[in-house]
Chain A
């Protein structure tokens, strides 16, 4: 029972971490290696607004997420746009930005265990005989809400549909009047906001520490590779796979093996099925 509950929480947490990465890669084929840094810095922004300026918690969260969206758009507009289409340069550029943010934070004195965000709701309830704190249940609810929102957004709104078109065939989208640069900025901004949201939701479960940035990045990449790069639904399903595998590992093998799961999943996927478990693209060969 506890495996089921904590597995679900862990899986949804992974999905939240990975969705932003999957979104950006799916639409503009930019592997955003600054993802983990955006996750962590949102936590610090919210913390600064909350503790430093003494703003209301909800207001600080909203402001922090908007701020990170702007940061994402700026990163694309001023850095990534210059290296579009060169995979290695995109990785190096975005990773460098991530490093700069994370190590800049460390240099600026944001380290140690003093930085925590309060949980949204205090308290816990018992499911069966297992105590679960309410914040973890809230994580599940928010995760489901985010996935539902993304699905609705990409199936029923003009911009969402245009983003999907761009993801599948950028040139065909261009012919229909969809501006690929604007769409890529939108994708990057929303990817950053998703990373930020994940940070805001998940960071109250622990301390805000710089190291989490690297950790989140690896988890997100693992989930996306297993799910099939660029496939959002694949990412969600892969998050459950890896999420439960991690919890099972923790229960039966020990906590320190948890990180191995994600890395092993990457290796196994690349050996057995390089396009990922749910990569659709390969099945739909062009018919002539």
Chain B
């Protein structure tokens, strides 16, 4: 479904992604794990095309020189040169790190802004579905986004991304800063979304432990390079990974 090959991203002379190739098959949940600054967010931005927008803005303002190399193919089509809004139209929707919900809009408005690309019947169906997966949101409909708790914001961010009718959902550190209870609820719902909606998902995390049970295939990023990849069980059994990402020796 998604196939990114040879991705290299430079911020000035700093190498943020070093020849990373990653792929996601239809209806798979792919996990990308790595420490801070391993390049997870850069990878997500590159796949969703946001990197192109950042590059353009930096370029125009005379800021950091960003270079992006490599190829991204989606559903058999080369989308390397597509703008982020076009990629979203193709079905790649990013649910960003730190959620970035619209703080001055209500929960309902956030969801309706998310439905920008959806037809009105799609929006209606998806809204029902979002409330089914995340029941608290239905109760909070009128609450202003900025006043939600972290967990509620995360539910809203995923719900908003779903409203955009994704075929491939990119989730950048969805569990960041949340309580274990909310974390396991979000992980469960992520699998539910895949199973019921047939949406492929790429999820990044620092700690693999909470997410790994639902992941089909995993990549480990270190200093911008993919050092290890494989089906879940294979990664799980790797002794280096066990010590580095699970705290098991």
> Which residues of A come within 8 Å of B, CB atoms?
82-86, 155, 158, 161-162, 164-165, 168-169, 171-180, 280-281, 284-288
Contacts and interface: CB of A to CB of B under 8 A. Distances in A.
Interface in B85-129: 85, 88-89, 93-96, 98, 100-105, 109, 112-117
Interface stretch (B53-61, B187-195, B211-219): B53-61
A167 to B, nearest CB: 8
B104 A171 contact: no
A162 B48 CA distance: 19
A269 to B, nearest CB: 20
B34 interface: no
B113 A173 contact: yes
A174 B50 contact: yes
Nearest to A284: B146
Interface in B50-92: 50, 53, 57, 60-61, 83-85, 88-89
Contact of A177 (B98, B103, B112, B116): B116
B115 to A, nearest CB: 8
B48 to A, nearest CB: 6
A164 B108 CA distance: 13
B11 interface: no
B116 A161 contact: yes
A175 B88 contact: yes
B93 A177 contact: yes
A112 to B, nearest CB: 43
B100 A287 contact: no
A281 B57 CA distance: 23
A274 B80 CA distance: 43
A172 B100 contact: yes
A243 B146 CA distance: 32
Contacts of A83: 60
B167 to A, nearest CB: 12
Contact of A176 (B113, B146, B147, B149): B113
Contact of B150 (A162, A176, A178, A287): A287
B247 interface: no
